[in-house]
Structure formats: C-alpha cells, structure tokens
Amino acid sequence: MAGNNSGDNQLKRGAIGGIALVFLVIAAAAPLGASATNTPLIFMLGNGSAAAFDFLIIAVLLLLFSVGFTAMSTHITNAGAFYAYISMGLGKRFGTAAGFVAVAAYNLLSVYLVSAGGTFASSIIEMELGISIPWWVISLVFAAIILTFSYFGIEGGTKFLMVCLACEVAILAVVDLSVLIQDGPGAYPLDVFSLDMLFNGGVPGGIGLGVCFAFLCFIGFEATAIFGEETRNPRKIIPRATFAAVIVIGLVYSLSAWSITAAYNAMGTDVVTVAEIAYDSMYHDVAVMYCGDIVGHLFNWFLLISNFASWMAAHGMASRYLYSFSRANLLPKAMEKTNKAKSPFVACCVNMVIGLGISFIMALCGLDPYSEVGAICSSIAIVGIMLIELIVCIAVISYMRKHNSEPGFGHNVFQTTIAPILALIGMGYVLFLVLSNFSLLTGYEDVFVNVFIGGLMVIVGIIGYAIAIAKDKNGTLVDPVDIDVEEEIVEQGKEIGPGDFNIGMG
C-alpha cells in the first residue's frame, strides 16, 4: 500500500541495527536511575526484599505482551506504533483515539524528565562540585544538547546513548560483583524468590505496590516499534530487539535488587529498615562501602547520565509520535518535515517546547519541579501508556482472528490468543494497582485531585475519538495501515537486506 508521506519527509531508513535499537530502548528505561530511585520504594512501601522477584514477574508479563505486540510488528512498520497497531485491529477511529493518548502520554513523559533530569543533575553537581546551579538552567543546557543530537539524525544520538547505557550497566555490575566477591554466594538469600516473601514480605499487602513500582521501571521497552522506520529490516529486528530489551532490563533490575538485599543482609540489616531511613541513598551507600569513594563519585555522575539518557530517548519517542500524527493530518503538517539528516527536527523542537514550557509554567505557579511537576506528569503518562498497552492486547486478538488464515500470517494460537489474553489480564491487574495507589504516585491525598489526574488520559481518548469521527465522516481520516514504510521500500524495488542483528548505524 502506498504511503501518504512524500520521500522528502521520510525518516532515514536502515539507520540503526538490532543491537543499537536494544541499547536505545533500554536507555529509555534508565537502568541505573530506576534501580537507585524506584527499587528502594519497593523495599520501603512494597513487599520488601521480594523486589528481585517482582522484577522477574513483570518481565514475564511483558514478554507475554511482547508475543502479540511483535507479531503485529511483522505486518506493518510505522513510527506511530501503538496508533498503527490499534488501527489495524480495532479500526482507524479507535486507533486515532489511542494515538492521541499516546501522543499526550509520551510528551508528558518528556515534561517529567525535563523536571526530574534538571533536579537530579542540580543536586548531584552541588554534591560533587559544591556548585549550586538552578535546575531550570541545567534543563535548558540538556535541552540544547539533545536538540543538537536530534538535528544530526538518529545515528549519533544512538551511539551516545549506547555509551551512556554502557556506563550505567557497568557501574551496577561493578557493585553487584563486589558484593558477590566480598560476601560470597551464601549472602544472597534464595527466599526472596519464594511465594511467601512475594505475598507477605515488607508491609501488609505490599505485593500491590511492589509489582506496581517494578512495572514502572520497564516503561520505554515498547519503543522498539516506534523506531521501526529507522531500523534495518524492522520486521525481523523489532521482535528480536523487544524480547532482548525486556529480558536484559528484567535481569539487570532483579540482580541489582538481589545484590543490594545481600549486601545489607551481610551487614546484619534488613533492606526494609534501611529504605525507611535512607531510601534515597541506599544504592550509593552500598557502592561506597563495597567499592570505595571513587566508585561512589562515579555512581553519582553515572546517575546524572542515566537521567539525561532517559530524557533523550523519551524525546525521540515523543517526537516520532508527533511526526506520525502530523503525517496522518491529525496535527499541523509542519511537524512531518524532516531535515537533511532525515530527522523529524520540527517535531523534535515542538516536543522540547512542550516539555520545557509546561515544566517551567508549572514551576512558576509554585509547584516543586520534582515532587509535584514530575510526579503529576509522570503519573498521567504512566496511566496513558498502560491503557494503550491494554488496548493493543485486544487489537492483536481482533486482528489475528480476521487475518491469521491469510497468506503471510500463520501465527500459532499462543501468539494470537493465549499470550495476549494473559497479558491483558496481568497488565489490567497492574493498572488496577496503579490506580488504587495513585496518591503515592502523585503525592496528593485529595480523592478528587487523583480522580481528575488519573482520568485525564480517558478524556484525551474521548476527544481523540470525536476528532476521528468528524474526520472520517468528511473522508479525511488517514488509516496508518496505508503508511507502511517497509512495504513502500519493496514497491520502489529496493532490496531489504537480511536481518543482520548488529551494531551498525547505517
């Protein structure tokens, strides 16, 4: 099917290989940042030392989701990702409504990262150098760096993110290995993976918040499909990269949480007790105690890099949703323009203006950049992303029931039905847990405030559906299935190379 996007405004085809794509989406999850900030919350508010088990459970759940998600990716390549998949399964009206939710969610995620990134960086710079720099100044500097990478295309930015991720994983590995070598395998308690610890560890009913916070650490893994148009042989690479990203993220988080638990156990201290006293520094404290002051300083600087890398990756995701919706005539057409490097630079600038503008305005209104601006925007974004992931599960089942008997399909019943249903049930339960504990995410106790914040993405979806109906009635609603990038390459007579899952950038 011929696409609606002209050759002048297409993203750069085949710009990144499989390993680069894996690094890109794992960087979005920010392994070091998530480990150091979210895992202590599981220790303190969730099911305690069962945190390591929580991460494995969520990894399995997301692997089930990925079975159907990646099956869809073998039939269409589109930067709209969720928007395209839901349109395929449930029709372009539902797809458009879900797409508006995705656009809003990923751009609000950028607002959170503008605020959180600047706040964390300001704190770390003052701690390490004794220099006090306002968070908003650092955010502006970071924004300029990110836009510079964006202007020159996805290759350079991805290489930089690969370096950032290598630093993050390296520092976590050094700490984990130091604990293992100094305390021995016997320090690692096996009961953290028991059902008793899962359901009865930590605070009463802590499993709810445990799996909730664990799930939040994986946000971003689904970006493999968003970057599909710029990936070499996407219909083979995206499934491999998605499974690889979920497995690596799950193992990194789980092993890290297990090592921290082992370290404090060896000291004769329970992680729950430590988290209640020093949840914001317990990872750094272990790094210093087991590896020395130099590694402690590196830990802080790499934590800064982790938050920056996460913002940069999320910026790329949000920009491509803006580009995709502009290409489908659902947002101003200016955002579908690409520059000489085939970067959607106009959309990148719009995303950055949204991120900086909303965070600065909310801060000027007296809201704390991290505990209020960041908490509110991230909470809304999380609900939005989880909602559309649930709808994707339904779309997979619907689409495969209609088309699986056609040539080129032939997926098995586990891919088309069993895995999506299990993922739908599991992720639906996690969303229920998120909403049940929403006040802990937003920081507000007022029920009305939390209902309003939690319901914003539903309102966006309703508005999006109304827009879709209006455009469909006058014949201007674009079906993203008609913008199938890889099929366009085939029609133009260009050969799609073999699925070389390598580090190549172009």
DSSP string computed for 386-449: HHHHHHHHHHHHHHHHHHTTSTT----HIIIIIHHHHHHHHHHHHHHHHHHTHHHHH----HHH
Supply the DSSP symbol for 49: G
Burial string for 8-43 (b: 16+ CB within 10 Å, else e) reads ebbbbbbbbbbbbbbbbbbbbbbbbbbbbbbbbbbb
CA atoms within 13 A on the CB side of 337: 11
Locus of tokens 């039905």:
417
Cα dihedral 252→256→258→264 (10° resolution)? 180
As a whole number of angstroms, the distance between CA 332 and CA 346 comes to: 11
First to last CA, the chain: 25
Task: Please give the pLDDT value at position 371.
Answer: 82
CA dist 33 → 192, 237, 286, 504 (Å): 22, 27, 15, 27
* Cα four-point dihedral sign 38, 44, 45, 47: positive
Report mean pLDDT in 10-residue bins for the chain, 506 residues. 57 90 90 91 90 95 94 85 91 94 94 92 94 96 96 91 93 96 94 91 81 88 88 90 94 96 93 89 95 96 94 93 93 93 95 96 91 88 93 94 86 94 94 87 88 94 96 90 58 41 40
Burial string for 436-450 (b: 16+ CB within 10 Å, else e) reads ebbbbbbbbeeeeeb
Task: Please give the pLDDT value at position 484.
Answer: 58
- 3 state DSSP class of 134: coil
Token digits for 498?
A: 């073999």
Strand partners, 231: 16
pTM score of the predicted model: 0.88
Burial string for 372-390 (b: 16+ CB within 10 Å, else e) reads bbbbbbbbbbbbbbbbbbb
Supply the DSSP symbol for 374: I
Question: What is the number of residues in the chain?
Answer: 506
CA dist 485 → 89, 134, 493, 505 (Å): 18, 43, 13, 19
As a whole number of angstroms, the distance between CA 379 and CA 435 comes to: 10
CA dist 301 → 26, 125, 164 (Å): 19, 8, 11
* Cα four-point dihedral sign 38, 208, 436, 460: positive
Locus of tokens 């996690």:
430
| Angle between helical axes of 92-129 and 375-403 (0-180°, round to 10) | 140
What lies within 8 Å, CB to CB, of 419 at 6+ separation is 64, 65, 67, 68
Measure the CA angle with vertex 38, ends 427 and 280; round to 5°: 165
Let me know if 435 is exposed, middle or buried by CB neighbors in 10 A (0-12, 13-18, 19+): middle
Q: Going along 206-302, which residue ranges are E strands? A: none
As a whole number of angstroms, the distance between CA 221 and CA 18 comes to: 14
